[in-house]
Protein backbone atom coordinates (compact mmCIF):
# COMPACT_ATOMS: atom_id res chain seq x y z
CA UNK A 1 0.00 0.00 0.00
CA UNK A 2 2.82 2.42 0.77
CA UNK A 3 4.28 2.06 -2.72
CA UNK A 4 0.89 2.76 -4.28
CA UNK A 5 0.34 5.84 -2.15
CA UNK A 6 3.81 7.15 -2.93
CA UNK A 7 3.31 7.17 -6.68
CA UNK A 8 -0.24 8.53 -6.63
CA UNK A 9 -0.27 12.24 -7.52
CA UNK A 10 3.51 12.15 -7.95
CA UNK A 11 4.82 15.16 -9.91
CA UNK A 12 8.42 14.02 -10.34
CA UNK A 13 9.25 12.39 -13.67
CA UNK A 14 9.20 8.62 -13.34
CA UNK A 15 12.72 7.26 -13.90
CA UNK A 16 13.44 3.81 -15.24
CA UNK A 17 11.05 1.67 -13.23
CA UNK A 18 9.85 -1.86 -12.83
CA UNK A 19 6.71 -2.91 -14.72
CA UNK A 20 4.54 -2.72 -11.60
CA UNK A 21 5.28 0.97 -11.02
CA UNK A 22 4.74 1.75 -14.70
CA UNK A 23 1.39 -0.05 -14.53
CA UNK A 24 0.40 2.00 -11.49
CA UNK A 25 1.42 5.20 -13.28
CA UNK A 26 -0.88 4.41 -16.23
CA UNK A 27 -3.80 4.31 -13.80
CA UNK A 28 -2.75 7.22 -11.63
CA UNK A 29 -2.25 9.60 -14.53
CA UNK A 30 -5.89 9.03 -15.46
CA UNK A 31 -7.02 9.42 -11.84
CA UNK A 32 -5.07 12.67 -11.56
CA UNK A 33 -6.86 13.94 -14.66
CA UNK A 34 -10.22 13.07 -13.10
CA UNK A 35 -9.25 14.93 -9.92
CA UNK A 36 -8.22 17.99 -11.93
CA UNK A 37 -11.48 18.00 -13.90
CA UNK A 38 -13.56 17.42 -10.77
CA UNK A 39 -12.17 20.58 -9.17
CA UNK A 40 -13.25 22.84 -12.04
CA UNK A 41 -16.37 25.02 -11.91
CA UNK A 42 -18.46 22.56 -13.94
CA UNK A 43 -16.97 19.52 -12.25
CA UNK A 44 -17.52 17.65 -9.03
CA UNK A 45 -15.06 15.45 -7.16
CA UNK A 46 -16.16 13.16 -4.35
CA UNK A 47 -13.31 11.50 -2.45
CA UNK A 48 -13.52 8.76 0.16
CA UNK A 49 -10.74 6.67 1.63
CA UNK A 50 -11.69 3.65 -0.46
CA UNK A 51 -13.14 5.13 -3.68
CA UNK A 52 -13.79 8.37 -5.52
CA UNK A 53 -16.07 9.65 -8.23
CA UNK A 54 -15.89 12.47 -10.74
CA UNK A 55 -18.74 14.31 -12.43
CA UNK A 56 -18.17 16.64 -15.38
CA UNK A 57 -20.92 18.67 -16.97
CA UNK A 58 -22.27 17.91 -19.43
CA UNK A 59 -20.58 14.69 -20.58
CA UNK A 60 -17.09 13.39 -19.72
CA UNK A 61 -15.69 12.12 -17.42
CA UNK A 62 -18.38 10.61 -15.19
CA UNK A 63 -17.02 7.58 -13.32
CA UNK A 64 -16.54 5.97 -9.95
CA UNK A 65 -12.82 5.23 -9.78
CA UNK A 66 -9.94 4.06 -7.55
CA UNK A 67 -11.97 1.36 -5.72
CA UNK A 68 -9.94 -0.06 -2.84
CA UNK A 69 -12.46 -1.68 -0.54
CA UNK A 70 -11.65 -3.67 2.57
CA UNK A 71 -13.04 -7.21 2.16
CA UNK A 72 -15.03 -7.00 5.39
CA UNK A 73 -16.73 -3.77 4.27
CA UNK A 74 -17.33 -4.36 0.59
CA UNK A 75 -20.98 -5.41 0.90
CA UNK A 76 -21.77 -2.28 2.91
CA UNK A 77 -19.83 0.02 0.60
CA UNK A 78 -21.37 -1.36 -2.57
CA UNK A 79 -24.86 -1.05 -1.12
CA UNK A 80 -24.12 2.59 -0.25
CA UNK A 81 -22.79 3.24 -3.75
CA UNK A 82 -25.80 1.59 -5.37
CA UNK A 83 -28.12 3.79 -3.33
CA UNK A 84 -26.24 6.87 -4.58
CA UNK A 85 -26.43 5.60 -8.16
CA UNK A 86 -30.20 5.02 -7.91
CA UNK A 87 -30.61 8.54 -6.52
CA UNK A 88 -28.65 9.82 -9.56
CA UNK A 89 -26.04 11.30 -7.25
CA UNK A 90 -23.21 9.03 -8.40
CA UNK A 91 -22.21 7.91 -11.90
CA UNK A 92 -23.51 4.40 -12.75
CA UNK A 93 -20.11 3.22 -14.07
CA UNK A 94 -17.20 1.91 -11.98
CA UNK A 95 -13.68 1.62 -13.37
CA UNK A 96 -11.61 -1.32 -12.12
CA UNK A 97 -7.86 -1.29 -12.68
CA UNK A 98 -4.99 -3.40 -11.42
CA UNK A 99 -4.82 -1.50 -8.12
CA UNK A 100 -8.46 -2.28 -7.28
CA UNK A 101 -9.23 -4.08 -4.05
CA UNK A 102 -10.23 -6.67 -3.10
CA UNK A 103 -8.64 -8.85 -5.75
CA UNK A 104 -12.00 -10.45 -6.52
CA UNK A 105 -13.75 -7.10 -7.01
CA UNK A 106 -15.01 -8.14 -10.46
CA UNK A 107 -16.96 -11.02 -8.93
CA UNK A 108 -18.21 -8.84 -6.06
CA UNK A 109 -19.57 -6.26 -8.47
CA UNK A 110 -21.35 -8.92 -10.52
CA UNK A 111 -22.94 -10.43 -7.40
CA UNK A 112 -24.31 -6.99 -6.58
CA UNK A 113 -25.91 -6.46 -9.97
CA UNK A 114 -23.16 -4.73 -11.95
CA UNK A 115 -22.38 -5.87 -15.49
CA UNK A 116 -19.20 -5.62 -17.53
CA UNK A 117 -19.43 -2.85 -20.11
CA UNK A 118 -16.00 -2.90 -21.78
CA UNK A 119 -12.36 -3.65 -21.06
CA UNK A 120 -9.57 -1.37 -22.27
CA UNK A 121 -5.85 -2.01 -22.54
CA UNK A 122 -3.51 0.24 -20.59
CA UNK A 123 -0.28 0.72 -22.52
CA UNK A 124 3.09 2.38 -22.00
CA UNK A 125 5.93 3.44 -24.29
CA UNK A 126 9.53 3.56 -23.01
CA UNK A 127 10.80 6.84 -24.47
CA UNK A 128 14.40 6.05 -23.56
CA UNK A 129 14.30 3.31 -26.18
CA UNK A 130 12.47 5.43 -28.76
CA UNK A 131 14.45 7.83 -30.95
CA UNK A 132 12.30 10.18 -32.99
CA UNK A 133 12.95 12.95 -35.42
CA UNK A 134 11.16 16.25 -34.85
CA UNK A 135 9.99 15.96 -38.45
CA UNK A 136 6.83 13.96 -39.06
CA UNK A 137 5.15 13.17 -42.39
CA UNK A 138 3.60 16.26 -43.97
CA UNK A 139 -0.03 15.21 -44.31
CA UNK A 140 -0.85 17.39 -41.30
CA UNK A 141 0.20 20.78 -40.02
CA UNK A 142 0.10 20.15 -36.27
CA UNK A 143 -0.01 23.05 -33.82
CA UNK A 144 -0.47 23.48 -30.09
CA UNK A 145 -3.68 25.28 -29.14
CA UNK A 146 -3.26 28.56 -27.28
CA UNK A 147 -6.66 30.29 -27.46
CA UNK A 148 -10.33 29.54 -26.88
CA UNK A 149 -11.27 30.05 -30.55
CA UNK A 150 -8.95 27.25 -31.69
CA UNK A 151 -10.04 25.14 -28.74
CA UNK A 152 -13.67 25.46 -29.81
CA UNK A 153 -12.74 23.91 -33.15
CA UNK A 154 -10.78 21.18 -31.33
CA UNK A 155 -13.94 20.32 -29.36
CA UNK A 156 -16.04 20.04 -32.52
CA UNK A 157 -13.53 17.71 -34.19
CA UNK A 158 -13.09 15.52 -31.09
CA UNK A 159 -16.87 15.24 -30.74
CA UNK A 160 -17.03 13.39 -34.07
CA UNK A 161 -14.90 10.58 -32.64
CA UNK A 162 -15.76 10.45 -28.94
CA UNK A 163 -19.44 11.38 -28.92
CA UNK A 164 -18.80 13.46 -25.80
CA UNK A 165 -18.72 17.23 -25.46
CA UNK A 166 -15.37 18.11 -23.86
CA UNK A 167 -15.97 21.80 -23.25
CA UNK A 168 -14.99 21.53 -19.58
CA UNK A 169 -11.39 20.95 -20.70
CA UNK A 170 -11.23 24.54 -21.93
CA UNK A 171 -10.49 25.58 -18.34
CA UNK A 172 -7.22 23.65 -18.61
CA UNK A 173 -6.05 25.50 -21.72
CA UNK A 174 -2.50 26.87 -21.35
CA UNK A 175 -2.12 25.03 -18.05
CA UNK A 176 1.26 23.80 -16.92
CA UNK A 177 0.35 20.11 -17.12
CA UNK A 178 -1.86 19.98 -20.24
CA UNK A 179 -1.23 20.49 -23.96
CA UNK A 180 -3.85 20.34 -26.70
CA UNK A 181 -2.99 19.76 -30.36
CA UNK A 182 -4.89 20.20 -33.61
CA UNK A 183 -3.89 18.80 -36.99
CA UNK A 184 -4.76 20.73 -40.15
CA UNK A 185 -5.20 19.27 -43.63
CA UNK A 186 -6.02 21.45 -46.64
CA UNK A 187 -6.76 24.39 -44.36
CA UNK A 188 -9.16 22.51 -42.07
CA UNK A 189 -8.68 21.07 -38.58
CA UNK A 190 -9.24 17.34 -38.98
CA UNK A 191 -7.40 15.75 -36.04
CA UNK A 192 -6.91 16.20 -32.29
CA UNK A 193 -4.81 15.00 -29.38
CA UNK A 194 -3.89 15.99 -25.82
CA UNK A 195 -1.12 15.21 -23.37
CA UNK A 196 -1.50 15.37 -19.59
CA UNK A 197 1.64 15.37 -17.45
CA UNK A 198 1.15 13.77 -14.04
CA UNK A 199 2.14 10.79 -11.89
CA UNK A 200 5.56 10.99 -13.46
CA UNK A 201 4.44 10.16 -17.01
CA UNK A 202 2.97 11.81 -20.11
CA UNK A 203 -0.57 10.60 -20.71
CA UNK A 204 -1.88 10.78 -24.27
CA UNK A 205 -5.63 11.35 -24.69
CA UNK A 206 -8.27 12.19 -27.32
CA UNK A 207 -6.32 11.14 -30.39
CA UNK A 208 -8.88 11.49 -33.18
CA UNK A 209 -9.23 11.98 -36.92
CA UNK A 210 -12.49 12.88 -38.63
CA UNK A 211 -14.17 9.75 -40.07
CA UNK A 212 -13.71 10.58 -43.75
CA UNK A 213 -9.90 10.91 -43.40
CA UNK A 214 -9.12 7.89 -41.23
CA UNK A 215 -6.65 5.15 -42.18
CA UNK A 216 -4.33 7.63 -43.91
CA UNK A 217 -1.64 7.87 -41.22
CA UNK A 218 -2.94 11.06 -39.63
CA UNK A 219 -3.59 9.48 -36.25
CA UNK A 220 0.01 8.28 -36.26
CA UNK A 221 1.21 11.82 -36.94
CA UNK A 222 -0.78 13.15 -33.98
CA UNK A 223 0.67 10.40 -31.78
CA UNK A 224 4.22 11.12 -32.91
CA UNK A 225 3.85 14.82 -32.07
CA UNK A 226 2.74 13.93 -28.53
CA UNK A 227 5.57 11.43 -28.12
CA UNK A 228 8.18 13.87 -29.43
CA UNK A 229 7.01 16.67 -27.13
CA UNK A 230 7.02 14.32 -24.12
CA UNK A 231 10.64 13.44 -24.94
CA UNK A 232 11.54 17.11 -25.26
CA UNK A 233 10.04 17.75 -21.82
CA UNK A 234 12.26 15.03 -20.34
CA UNK A 235 9.66 12.34 -19.73
CA UNK A 236 10.69 8.68 -19.86
CA UNK A 237 7.27 7.14 -20.48
CA UNK A 238 4.14 7.90 -22.47
CA UNK A 239 0.98 6.09 -21.40
CA UNK A 240 -2.55 5.69 -22.75
CA UNK A 241 -5.77 3.70 -22.54
CA UNK A 242 -6.31 2.00 -25.87
CA UNK A 243 -9.57 1.51 -27.71
CA UNK A 244 -9.88 -1.57 -29.89
CA UNK A 245 -9.63 0.56 -33.02
CA UNK A 246 -6.40 2.24 -31.90
CA UNK A 247 -4.47 -0.58 -30.26
CA UNK A 248 -2.83 -1.80 -33.48
CA UNK A 249 -1.44 1.69 -34.14
CA UNK A 250 -0.11 2.02 -30.60
CA UNK A 251 1.64 -1.35 -30.78
CA UNK A 252 3.24 -0.35 -34.08
CA UNK A 253 4.71 2.70 -32.32
CA UNK A 254 6.24 0.53 -29.58
CA UNK A 255 3.58 0.75 -26.84
CA UNK A 256 3.36 -2.37 -24.71
CA UNK A 257 0.49 -3.75 -22.68
CA UNK A 258 0.91 -3.15 -18.96
CA UNK A 259 -2.59 -3.74 -17.59
CA UNK A 260 -6.30 -3.36 -18.19
CA UNK A 261 -9.07 -1.03 -17.17
CA UNK A 262 -12.53 -2.60 -16.86
CA UNK A 263 -15.78 -0.68 -16.89
CA UNK A 264 -18.77 -2.05 -14.95
CA UNK A 265 -22.20 -0.43 -15.14
CA UNK A 266 -25.29 -0.72 -12.96
CA UNK A 267 -28.10 -1.59 -15.43
CA UNK A 268 -30.98 -0.34 -13.26
CA UNK A 269 -29.87 3.24 -14.00
CA UNK A 270 -28.96 4.29 -17.52
CA UNK A 271 -26.02 6.51 -18.24
CA UNK A 272 -28.40 8.74 -20.22
CA UNK A 273 -30.64 9.23 -17.16
CA UNK A 274 -27.64 10.18 -15.04
CA UNK A 275 -26.33 12.61 -17.65
CA UNK A 276 -29.74 14.21 -18.06
CA UNK A 277 -30.04 14.74 -14.30
CA UNK A 278 -26.45 15.92 -14.24
CA UNK A 279 -27.15 18.63 -16.84
CA UNK A 280 -30.23 19.80 -14.94
CA UNK A 281 -28.12 20.19 -11.79
CA UNK A 282 -25.49 22.27 -13.60
pLDDT band, very low/low/confident/very high, at 2 (cuts 50, 70, 90): very low
Looking at the fold, whether 254 and 265 belong to one and the same domain comes out as no
> What's the average model confidence in pLDDT over 251-267?
96
Better-scored residue on pLDDT, 279 or 2:
279
Looking at the fold, whether 99 and 34 belong to one and the same domain comes out as yes
Looking at the fold, whether 243 and 275 belong to one and the same domain comes out as no
Q: Domains in the chain: how many in total?
A: 2
Looking at the fold, whether 115 and 54 belong to one and the same domain comes out as yes
Looking at the fold, whether 207 and 273 belong to one and the same domain comes out as no
Looking at the fold, whether 91 and 113 belong to one and the same domain comes out as yes
Looking at the fold, whether 67 and 185 belong to one and the same domain comes out as no
* 34 and 245 Cβ atoms separated by less than 8 Å: no
Task: Write the CATH number for 198.
Answer: 3.40.630.30
Mean pLDDT over all residues of the chain? 91
Looking at the fold, whether 11 and 45 belong to one and the same domain comes out as yes
Task: Write the CATH number for 63.
Answer: 3.40.630
Looking at the fold, whether 212 and 265 belong to one and the same domain comes out as no
Q: What is the pLDDT of residue 59?
A: 83
Q: What is the pLDDT of residue 277?
A: 86
Looking at the fold, whether 134 and 247 belong to one and the same domain comes out as yes
Phi, psi angle pair for 142, to nearest 5°: -100, 130
Looking at the fold, whether 246 and 274 belong to one and the same domain comes out as no
Question: Is pLDDT of 157 > 90?
Answer: yes
Question: Is pLDDT of 65 > 60?
Answer: yes
- 248, containing H or E segment: helix 244-252
Question: What is the distance of C-alpha 95 from the center of its chain?
Answer: 11
Looking at the fold, whether 34 and 75 belong to one and the same domain comes out as yes
pLDDT tens sequence across 163-184: 888 999 999 999 989 999 999 9
Radius of gyration from C-alpha coordinates of the chain: 19
pLDDT tens sequence across 15-31: 987 899 999 999 999 99
How far apart CA 72 and CA 89 sit, in angstroms, is: 25
pLDDT tens sequence across 76-121: 999 999 999 999 999 999 999 999 999 999 999 999 999 999 999 9
- Could you tell me the residue range of the domain that residue 105 belongs to? 2-123+261-280
Amino acid sequence: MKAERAIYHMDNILPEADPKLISYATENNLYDLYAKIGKLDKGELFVQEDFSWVIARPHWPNFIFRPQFKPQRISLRLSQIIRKIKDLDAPPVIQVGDQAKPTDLDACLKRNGFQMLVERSRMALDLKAKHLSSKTPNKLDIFEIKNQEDFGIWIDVALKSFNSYLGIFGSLLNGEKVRFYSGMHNGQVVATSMIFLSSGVAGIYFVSVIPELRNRGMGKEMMLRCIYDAQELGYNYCILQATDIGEHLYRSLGFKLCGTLKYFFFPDVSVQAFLQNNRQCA
